[in-house]
């Protein structure tokens, strides 16, 4: 019984730690909320060019508020859990654009992570360079689709796998 509860308890503790860290480390608001609408990159992604190249220059790194918990199925039961934290590199001054689109970003990232898990991306040596590069590239595509040109890349800041 405790072997089945351990991954769940670890996921809850990790999520709580991630939320606490995000609250402590979140940048102070840069101005009144009306200023966010005037920020370049806060425009809807429909007005952005299709798959633009990332720009050079200063960057902000925006950590998403909660960790992602991905179950790894072994037949019809959960064989492992992967917990990871993500940050998005954006052009300087565009952190609010990430927070404004965070629910859509989380949804897109979860779909990529579930697909990666279903293809066996978290099996075996899941942290090898090739596997991590493929995952980063897929996550970055989702970020660019939703944020436009302000999204430069997605960073995997923490990753852990707990077998049940």
**CA 92, CA 89: separation in Å to the nearest integer?**
9
Contact 71, 89 (CB under 8 A): no
Using only C-alpha atoms, the chain has a radius of gyration, in whole angstroms, of: 17
Q: So what's the pLDDT on residue 32?
A: 45
Q: So what's the pLDDT on residue 75?
A: 86
Q: So what's the pLDDT on residue 74?
A: 87
Q: So what's the pLDDT on residue 39?
A: 45
Q: Which of 83, 85, 81 is nearest to 63 (CA)?
A: 85
Q: So what's the pLDDT on residue 164?
A: 85
> Phi first, then psi: what are they for 83, rounded to 5°?
-115, 130
Contact 63, 85 (CB under 8 A): yes
Residue 159 burial (10 A CB sphere; 0-12, 13-18, 19+): middle
Tens digit of pLDDT per residue, the chain (164 long)?
556 666 665 666 666 555 555 555 555 545 444 444 444 444 444 444 444 444 578 999 999 999 999 999 988 899 999 999 999 999 999 999 999 999 999 999 999 999 999 999 999 899 999 999 999 999 999 999 999 999 999 999 999 999 98
Q: So what's the pLDDT on residue 1?
A: 58
Structure token digits, residue 1: 């019984």
**CA 30, CA 28: separation in Å to the nearest integer?**
6
Residue ranges of the domains in the chain?
A: 2-29+44-163
Question: Which single residue is written with the structure tokens 């790194």?
Answer: 61
Q: So what's the pLDDT on residue 139?
A: 97
Contact 73, 79 (CB under 8 A): yes
HSE (side-chain half, CA atoms, 13 Å) at 151: 32
Q: So what's the pLDDT on residue 6?
A: 62
Contact 150, 60 (CB under 8 A): no
């Amino acid at each position: 019984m405790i072997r089945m509860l351990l991954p769940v308890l670890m996921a809850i503790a990790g999520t709580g730690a991630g939320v606490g860290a995000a609250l402590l480390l979140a940048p102070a608001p840069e101005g009144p909320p009306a200023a966010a609408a005037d920020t370049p990159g806060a425009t809807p992604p429909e007005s952005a060019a299709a798959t633009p190249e990332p720009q050079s220059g200063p960057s902000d790194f925006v950590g998403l508020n909660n960790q992602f918990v991905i179950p790894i199925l072994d037949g019809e039961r959960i064989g492992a859990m992967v917990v990871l934290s993500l940050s998005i590199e954006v052009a300087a001054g565009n952190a609010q654009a990430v927070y404004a689109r965070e629910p859509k970003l989380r949804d897109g990232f979860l779909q990529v992570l579930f697909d990666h898990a279903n293809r066996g991306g978290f099996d075996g040596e899941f942290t090898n360079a090739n596997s991590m590069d493929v995952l980063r590239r897929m996550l970055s595509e989702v970020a660019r689709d939703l944020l436009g040109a302000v999204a430069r890349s997605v960073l995997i800041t923490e990753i852990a796998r707990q077998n049940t």
